[in-house]
Amino acid sequence: MIDQLKRHPFPVVAHFKFSLVLSYAMPQEVLQPLLPPHLELDTFNDFGFVTVAMVQTENLRPAGFPEWMGQNFFLIGYRLFVRYHTTNGKRLRGLYILRSETDKLLMKTLGNILTHYHYALTDIQWNIKEKSISVVSKVSDLHVDVQWNDENSQLPENSVFTNWKEARRFAGPLPFTFDFEPKTNHMTIIEGVRENWTPLPVNVQTARIGFLNNTPFDHPELQLSNAFVVQNIPYRWEKGRIENVLQ
C-alpha cells in the first residue's frame, strides 16, 4: 500500500512563477552508479549531467481542485538527465530525482508520502527582478545569482557545449520523470505537460551549491555547462504510469 502511494497516484497541476536550472557536466562513469537498474545517463560527448532546479511553485494541487486549495512553496531539486527504454520499445528522455528540498514542512511531508523524491526541509530566500534572480539558503549552503539580457548571455566558461543550441537539449525539465522500485521491479513514469516552454539563457554571476560538495559530485571535472530560466508557466504532472520491467 505504501509503495502504491509513492507512485504519483493522481494528476497534479501548478503554476511556476519561475524555474531556474543550472546543469553541470561530469564524466558519465562517475554518475552512472547513482542510477537504479534500467535507467541510463543521457549524455553529450561522454558527459552526463546533474542539474539543479530552483522553482517558485504556486497553487500546487490535485488536478480538478480549485486554486485556493493549492500550496505555494519553493523547491530545489537535484536530478540526473536519463534515458529509459519502455517495455514496448520506446526510448524516453527524462529525469531521475536524487534529492528535493523545500521551504514548507507540509510539502516535505506530502512529498515523502506520495513520491520517492527524498524531500528535506530547508530555508530559502529568493528575489526576482526584471532580468535577475537570486536564491540563497544557509541550511543548504546554496547561493545562486543570475542575470540576463535578451541577446548576449554567454555560456559558462569551460562549458562542454559549443553553443546554446546544443545546451538547450539539457535545459530541463524533460517530459518524463522516472522512479524505480527495487522491491517490486516497477518503473513509475510521470509525464509532465507544459505550455509556452521557451528556456532563456542566463549569465551566472554566483553558483555555490552545497549539495555538489558531496561525493561523487566533488569531482575535479565537474563543470557548470548551461543555465536557463523560464517564467510564468502552467504545469501538469499526469498520474504515474507503471511498468513491470521484468516483462
Reduce the DSSP state of residue 175 to 3 states and report it. coil
pLDDT at 172: 67
Write the pLDDT tens digit of every residue in 212-231.
999 999 999 999 999 999 99
Task: List average pLDDT for each run of 10 residues in the chain, which is 247 residues long.
Answer: 70 95 98 96 97 97 93 97 93 96 95 89 97 98 93 88 94 85 91 87 97 96 97 93 82
What's the chain's length in residues?
A: 247
Element (H, E) at 206: strand 203-209
Task: Give DSSP secondary structure letters for 94-124.
Answer: EEEEEEEEES-HHHHHHHHHH-SS-EEE---
Judge if pTM exceeds 0.85: yes
Q: CB-based burial of residue 37 (10 Å sphere; 0-12 exposed, 13-18 middle, 19+ buried)?
A: exposed
81-102 burial: b if 16+ Cβ within 10 Å, else e? bbbbeeeeeeeeebbbbbebbb
Residue 183 grid coordinates: 522491491
Q: Calculate Rg over the CA atoms of the chain.
A: 17
Residues 103 and 72: their CA atoms lie apart, in Å, by: 10
Residue 178: domain span: 2-244
**What's the CATH number where 62 sits?**
2.40.400.10
Residues 240 and 191: their CA atoms lie apart, in Å, by: 7
pLDDT at 2: 55
pLDDT at 82: 97
pLDDT at 247: 52
Structural domain count of the chain:
1
pLDDT at 230: 94
pLDDT at 195: 78
Give the list of residues 6+ apart from residue 142 with CB closer than 8 angstroms, or none.
76, 135, 136, 208, 209, 210, 211
pLDDT at 77: 97
pLDDT at 180: 92
Element (H, E) at 3: helix 2-5
pLDDT at 4: 66
pLDDT at 114: 83
